Structure 1
Amino acid sequence: MSAAPRSRLRIPKVPFWAQILGGLVLGVLFGWVARNWEVDWLGTSLTKIGETFIQLLKLAVAPLVFFAIVISITNLRKVSNAARLATRTLLWFMATSLIAVAIGLTIGLLTNPGAGTGLSAEDGAEPESAGSWLDFLTGIVPTDVITPFTELNVLQIVFMAAVVGIAALKLGPKADPLLVFGEAVLALLQKALWWVIRLAPLGSLGLIGTAIKDYGWDLIGQYATFTADIYIGCAIVLFGVYPLLLATVAKVSPLQFFRGAWPAIQLAFVSRSSVGTMPLTQKVTERLGVPKEYASFAVPFGSTTKMDGCASIYPAIAAIFVAQIFGVDLGVGDYLLIAFVSVIGSAATAGLTGATVMLTLTLSTLGLPLAGVGLLMAIDPILDMMRTATNVAGQALIPVIVSAREKILDLDAFNSAKSFSLDELEWDESPAPAQAEEPEPRAERPQPLPV
């Protein structure tokens, strides 16, 4: 008698990717209706939904980044050859950034994205704020400990967190109370952010709906070549370069990597925030067999500095686009300068939605008019989805490559990786007592490395 009611009330689970896709489709539909039929209340609702989702993601960014960096640095003491792993991680970040910027420059030179757009210098507008090398270098060190958190200056937060993390390593056991507190706060933030992540389908509806409502398809047509260049460049890196590195350098299956990393990649596409996706990126990286102690360092580090989409492909193509609109000829030296800015200045993007700071940094370094930023702001939300998905894929890729090269990758975990739902991940992060009593626990993650 009791089984029948339960079966009638059972609601089938909808895969997360299907929820995201449904949100995107409905967003496009509602945005089109709001624009073409001038349904003001619908347009306002879409904007509020999208803005609220982004605000919820940003709400936890400052403390999340701070405690994630502090804990990740102190966790390195649990890993053998920590300095070697950190150095190799940074070198691979730089190497893949160079590859990405080279692809962006090649595509831009072959397609001439600024030609035939109908846009002119008069269509641009100076941005309210711009990045410069002086601001970048001097702005790393904060004037006080409060302002970086209130103004959400992620670069300064990373600097303070690095100082605290290194100091905690030097203090040793005396810093244990601080680290215990930090781990508890980090767990609370990740749990809260997890609830926000579950709202991603609704957020995608609002964000894509607002883009269609505000700009329509005409704008996309006007920027057709530029938009196609960004998506093609990111796709080449995401589905060409990354699989090649996995197969030849790490000697693991690219298909297995994408099966495991896909939840983080699709969330990045919707949220347009590497930092907001960071907890999920770290989860999928661990499930791909990367040691937890190393993943807890590499992923937060990458979420604030590893930006192949926003800091390599995008500024390379955007610089060519702006130069062509304003009639400026770029030479070989300029292209080398773009590569330099992409590798060294990528931390300026700081894992937040959009890449305006990185773009202004590139344009100012090349001496191009900053009014060119105004030409690209309208189309930016649509571009940022693909850019961020590429960023996050790279942030999961490098730990896998380094772990494989260092022989610390759990191949059993990697080879068994598959696409999974958020419910499965949430179960993993909430350990149940019954699981500890299983006679044959599954080895989903490698054992801690010897000190």
Structure 2
Amino acid sequence: METGLMLVNLAVMLLLIGLLFYMQKKHVSFSKRVFTALGLGILFGFALQFLYEPGSKSLTNSVDWFSIVGSGYVKFLQMIVMPLVFISILSAFTKLKLTNNIGKISVLILGILVGTTAIAAAVGIASAVVFDLEAVQIEKGEAETARAAELEEKFGTVEDKTMPQQILELIPSNPFLDFTGARPTSTISVVIFAAFLGLAFLGVKRKQPEQADLFAKIVASFYAIIMRVVTLILRLTPYGVLAIMTSTVATSDIDAILKLGKFVLASYIALVVMFGIHLLLLTFAGLNPFTYVKKAFPVLAFAFTSRTSAGALPINIQTQKSLGVPDGIANFAGSFGLSIGQNGCAGIYPAMLAVMIAPTVGIDPLSPTFIITLIVVVAISSFGVAGVGGGATFAALLVLSAMNLPIALAGLLISVEPLIDMGRTAVNVSGSMTSGILTSRITKELDTDEYNSPAKELEVEA
């Protein structure tokens, strides 16, 4: 019986995948296919949620099979992240696109990322205060207790690190280890390593132009191959979004979500406000925010469903290019945004948690000193947060420990964590793209004609 039900579920999934493939063959736009996949995933997920009891073997086995498409797609994207970051940064040097103002570009991107994270912290604080969120309002069950113990254990790995030590973590001592993504700061380390090679190339170009030209040709060849791999993987986006969204909705704990509805609502209002601030910043820069929303939708939808900023990097960079951002800046902004200044995970989330937890140890969360200290701590701690699932937990540990607040209470939202994390990841990616666009605008390198051009397909069909 259970096997039969699982086969029915798989047949429905295959039917929906077939529908998306038919739409592709009929040349329906990429954005429409992603949006359709998102909608179908939600509907199918709710249908499974309605038909099966929580923990049902048929449902669990079905989701396990769905993950071949969903998690498989995310793994493909993560597979290409490090090669893409490395070759894109190196290519920006060999094409002489960053020679004159690389320092200015880096400072601007980092400044915007950290600055918007400080703003995000203020938004998170305001949301927690307006909704009167307190940790004592949440019932502590088995899942929450287990999560608390896990966080206490994880805290042991970060509690003894000073700020200078955290900064040193960004510097690559073994770039080949960082190519494996072994550390939370691996992406930034690969960027730094690629930048060193790029600077070395510029030095060789002045003294030994023949060797430099040969190296530039090799880099260009590798770049073309890597971008082709990116194109092949991006074609799978609608199918990946369908499977991920179905699994997420089907396995969500609806009872817990309803119980913690106020916390979910407060989180999403804060995230929407922060996204609105991104649009305001673009408006102040003289750019049409609606154009941004239209072109950014596919990457934001993917980030929302997959909950991985790192996996979204290839689409992030492609989207920035479609918005008129030069190659070099797009790659720097996308890469830095994976580990620095994530507005959702490293800004809003830890700030809300700190405000919720503060009253449990007799601290007034409305105290100006507490608020200012919290915003500064959040901004500084936003360096080195991993752009994968769990990055928000790492950020929360850093912030709560710096504010001398109990770590274990951060586990109280474990039952709704996946749902909130979806919105946080989308805001992270939006913040990364916004930093690239604003940096290009400030350095007068933004192609405004490209930005204002009608939304085009991402380069996934060629």
Q: 1:391 to 1:323 in 2, by over 3 A?
A: same
Task: Between 194-203 and 158-167, report the one with greater CA deviation.
Answer: 194-203
Paired with 1:205 and 1:10, the residues of 2 have a C-alpha distance of 17
> Which amino acid counterpart does residue 41 of structure 1 have in structure 2?
S
User: What residue is the counterpart of 2:380 in the other structure?
Assistant: 344
CA contact (8 A) 2:117 2:347 kept: yes
Q: 1:377 to 1:151 in 2, by over 3 A?
A: farther
Q: List runs of 5+ in structure 1 lacking aligned partners.
A: 1-8, 431-451
For residue 445 of structure 2, give the secondary structure of its aligned residue in structure 1: coil
Query: Are 2:258 and 1:234 equivalent residues in the alignment?
Result: no
Paired with 1:10 and 1:67, the residues of 2 have a C-alpha distance of 32
Q: Deviations over 1:246-300 (max 9, x none)?
A: 222x112111121222222112111211221112111121111222333233322
Paired with 1:194 and 1:372, the residues of 2 have a C-alpha distance of 43
> Which amino acid counterpart does residue 383 of structure 2 have in structure 1?
A
CA contact (8 A) 1:229 1:317 kept: no
Residue 386 (structure 1) shift: 0.7
For residue 275 of structure 1, give the secondary structure of its aligned residue in structure 2: coil
> Which amino acid counterpart does residue 26 of structure 1 have in structure 2?
F
Residue 309 (structure 1) shift: 1.0
User: What residue is the counterpart of 1:17 in the other structure?
Assistant: 35
Residue 311 (structure 1) shift: 0.9
> Which amino acid counterpart does residue 119 of structure 1 have in structure 2?
E
For residue 348 of structure 1, give the secondary structure of its aligned residue in structure 2: coil
Identity of aligned pairs, percent? 27
Paired with 2:138 and 2:429, the residues of 1 have a C-alpha distance of 34
For residue 19 of structure 1, give the secondary structure of its aligned residue in structure 2: helix
User: What residue is the counterpart of 2:44 in the other structure?
Assistant: 26
Residue 373 (structure 1) shift: 3.1
Residue 322 (structure 1) shift: 3.4
Paired with 1:265 and 1:180, the residues of 2 have a C-alpha distance of 34
CA contact (8 A) 2:109 2:435 kept: yes
User: What residue is the counterpart of 2:396 in the other structure?
Assistant: 359
Query: Are 2:328 and 1:293 equivalent residues in the alignment?
Result: yes
Residue 212 (structure 1) shift: 4.3
Paired with 2:238 and 2:60, the residues of 1 have a C-alpha distance of 18
Paired with 1:175 and 1:347, the residues of 2 have a C-alpha distance of 34
Task: Return the match for 1:136 from 143, 166, 169.
Answer: 166
CA contact (8 A) 1:31 1:213 kept: yes
CA contact (8 A) 1:104 1:233 kept: yes
User: What residue is the counterpart of 2:199 in the other structure?
Assistant: 169
User: What residue is the counterpart of 2:58 in the other structure?
Assistant: 41
Q: Deviations over 1:76-133 (max 9, x none)?
A: 6545433223322222222222211111111112212226744249843222523444
Q: Where in structure 2 are the equivalents of 1:65-80 lying within 5 Å?
A: 65-72=85-92, 77-78=97-98, 80=100
Query: Are 2:348 and 1:313 equivalent residues in the alignment?
Result: yes
Task: Between 264-273 and 24-33, report the one with greater CA deviation.
Answer: 24-33
Paired with 2:428 and 2:309, the residues of 1 have a C-alpha distance of 7
Q: Where in structure 2 are the equivalents of 1:5-404 lying within 5 Å?
A: 11=26, 13=28, 15-35=33-53, 39-48=56-65, 49=67, 50-72=70-92, 77-78=97-98, 80-114=100-134, 117-120=137-140, 123-124=144-145, 125-126=148-149, 127=151, 128-130=153-155, 131-132=158-159, 133-134=161-162, 136-137=166-167, 139-141=169-171, 144-150=174-180, 152-172=182-202, 173=205, 180-182=217-219, 184-238=221-275, 240-248=276-284, 250-324=285-359, 329-330=364-365, 331-354=367-390, 355-404=392-441
Paired with 1:300 and 1:75, the residues of 2 have a C-alpha distance of 19
CA contact (8 A) 1:20 1:200 kept: no
Residue 345 (structure 1) shift: 2.3
Residue 303 (structure 1) shift: 3.2
Residue 337 (structure 1) shift: 3.2
User: What residue is the counterpart of 2:460 in the other structure?
Assistant: 426
Residue 376 (structure 1) shift: 2.6
CA contact (8 A) 2:187 2:338 kept: no
Paired with 1:119 and 1:326, the residues of 2 have a C-alpha distance of 18
Paired with 1:208 and 1:18, the residues of 2 have a C-alpha distance of 11
CA contact (8 A) 2:133 2:263 kept: yes
For residue 139 of structure 2, give the secondary structure of its aligned residue in structure 1: coil
Paired with 1:150 and 1:81, the residues of 2 have a C-alpha distance of 30
For residue 230 of structure 1, give the secondary structure of its aligned residue in structure 2: helix
Residue 169 (structure 1) shift: 0.8
Q: 1:64 to 1:94 in 2, by over 3 A?
A: same
> Which amino acid counterpart does residue 377 of structure 2 have in structure 1?
V
Paired with 1:254 and 1:16, the residues of 2 have a C-alpha distance of 21
Paired with 2:220 and 2:341, the residues of 1 have a C-alpha distance of 24
Paired with 1:138 and 1:402, the residues of 2 have a C-alpha distance of 26
Q: 1:213 to 1:410 in 2, by over 3 A?
A: closer
Q: Kindly tell me the number of residue pairs found equivalent between the two proteins.
A: 415
Paired with 1:261 and 1:374, the residues of 2 have a C-alpha distance of 32
User: What residue is the counterpart of 2:21 in the other structure?
Assistant: none
CA contact (8 A) 1:268 1:274 kept: yes
Paired with 2:309 and 2:321, the residues of 1 have a C-alpha distance of 17
Paired with 2:457 and 2:47, the residues of 1 have a C-alpha distance of 26
Residue 143 (structure 1) shift: 5.8
Paired with 2:356 and 2:231, the residues of 1 have a C-alpha distance of 38
CA contact (8 A) 1:25 1:205 kept: no
> Which amino acid counterpart does residue 417 of structure 2 have in structure 1?
D
Paired with 1:73 and 1:326, the residues of 2 have a C-alpha distance of 52
Q: List runs of 5+ in structure 2 lacking aligned partners.
A: 1-23, 206-210
Task: Between 11-20 and 214-223, report the one with greater CA deviation.
Answer: 11-20
For residue 347 of structure 1, give the secondary structure of its aligned residue in structure 2: coil
Residue 336 (structure 1) shift: 2.7
Q: 1:376 to 1:409 in 2, by over 3 A?
A: same
